[in-house]
Amino acid sequence: MELMVLLNALVTRLLFVLHSLIGVWRVTAVKKEPKYWLLALLNLLLCLETGLTLKFKQGRGYKWFSPAIFLYLICTVPSLWLLEIHHGTQYCGNEPGAVQVNVSHQDFNQSKDSSHGSEGTDHHIIQTAKVFVNQLSTICETVWTLALHQTFLLLLVVGRWLLPIGVEITRDQLSQLLLMFVGTAADILEFASETLDIEDVRKNYALINAILAVWTWSMLQFPLDLAVQHIGCKPTTSTRRIPSLLLCRYSAELWNIGVSLFIQDGPFFIVRSILMGHFRIFNQMLVFFTVKNILVVTLQLYRLAVITLDFRATILQKSRKGEVSCCPCEPYEASTHATTDQDNEMKEFVVFPPKEESQIPSENQ
């Protein structure tokens, strides 16, 4: 096993565990009940996955699916649910830099009372750490929850980048996937923060649960890599049906369209439409992002129509030419094998010319 692969696999999962533990700590601090520390046991699943991946995959990832990302979602999403449902009423009146000023003042007082020996220095560091943690606890809950949301989405993107890739995915595909994840994370963060910050929404627990359910549903696209990989098929009789051929050729494009319609923009549009139509909640940003969701859904449907018409034209063109091979899906496999066979025949023809042609010049001489 390569050293860098091992380090990336362990460091990334360690970051996942630390962030999950911070979320559990905030839930315990907000609820003031130690029983919520039991949520930290979910990280045992991530530890088990780490051991299995190192043993059977030598630290590398799987095809089409990332178990580490999925288990990180399982470890972190419950904490964010509890924080959003609680949503304390503490007033956010902390001024910027207040924590730093208080810590520095406490450090100054502790430095006066501490001795000059090593024991005094250690005691001084411990006291400073305690003061810093206490000051962090005084930050209002809404700031903590928003910060956990932001770091959660950022760590999903960075973690997917740091995780060792498998043999089936290339660096080019990984770069495309990360760029898509950045835009997806920004949309999801905007949806959660913009809708849950509305006062009328906070008064309705059913709406909060519905919004969090849609938010959780949208997060399920992060463990999957189908957006940049083709499923691949073989030109057998079972794959000669039109739907199978269409899925075979445009698997990545169809997955992107399906994610937008059924996992992200479609559900986001439904939630925002219910807020405006049924609950009569209107504001400038809500209307803007609703129009944005409508535009994205319309463009995705237009893209689906273009793909279908292009595929239909290809099938009709091949049927008119009387071609038996009706699998235009895997050009990298089927056509590559065909071209290599033709190249081999051409090489044989050039290297070994027919005997009749080689004897003609000798007869003329």
Q: Kindly report, residue by residue over 260-311, the tens digit of the pLDDT.
A: 999 999 999 999 999 999 999 989 999 999 999 999 999 999 999 999 998 8
Last residue of a domain, one of 197, 227, 257: 227
Domain range enclosing 167 = 1-89+139-227
pLDDT band for position 77 (cuts 50, 70, 90): very high
Last residue of a domain, one of 192, 212, 227: 227
Whether residue 282 is found in the same domain as residue 306? yes
DSSP per position, 274-306: HHHHTS----HHHHHHHHHHHHHHHHHHHHHHH
Name the residue with tokens 């992107």: 256
Whether residue 186 is found in the same domain as residue 302? no
pLDDT band for position 14 (cuts 50, 70, 90): very high
Q: What is the pLDDT of residue 333?
A: 39
Q: What is the pLDDT of residue 126?
A: 79
Q: What is the pLDDT of residue 63?
A: 78
* Within-domain flag for 343: no
Whether residue 223 is found in the same domain as residue 234? no
What tokens does 29 get?
């601090």
What is the distance between the alpha carbons of residues 81 and 209, in angstroms, rounded to a whole number? 9
Q: What is the pLDDT of residue 62?
A: 82
What one-letter code names the amino acid at 336?
T
Whether residue 151 is found in the same domain as residue 212? yes
Q: What are phi and psi of 279, to 5 degrees?
A: -95, 0
Whether residue 22 is found in the same domain as residue 68? yes
- Those residues whose C-beta lies under 8 Å from the C-beta of residue 260, and which sit 6 or more positions away, are 266, 296, 297, 300
Whether residue 41 is found in the same domain as residue 144? yes
Whether residue 8 is found in the same domain as residue 84? yes
- Does residue 146 contact residue 193 with C-beta atoms inside 8 Å? yes
- Beta carbons within 10 angstroms of residue 178's beta carbon: 14
Number of domains in the chain: 2
Whether residue 157 is found in the same domain as residue 201? yes
DSSP bridge pairs for 315: none
Name the residue with tokens 């304390």: 88
* Within-domain flag for 270: yes
Phi-psi map region of 198: left, alpha, beta (phi>0 left; psi -120 to 50 alpha): beta
* Within-domain flag for 332: no
Phi-psi map region of 291: left, alpha, beta (phi>0 left; psi -120 to 50 alpha): alpha
Whether residue 149 is found in the same domain as residue 298? no
Whether residue 10 is found in the same domain as residue 34? yes
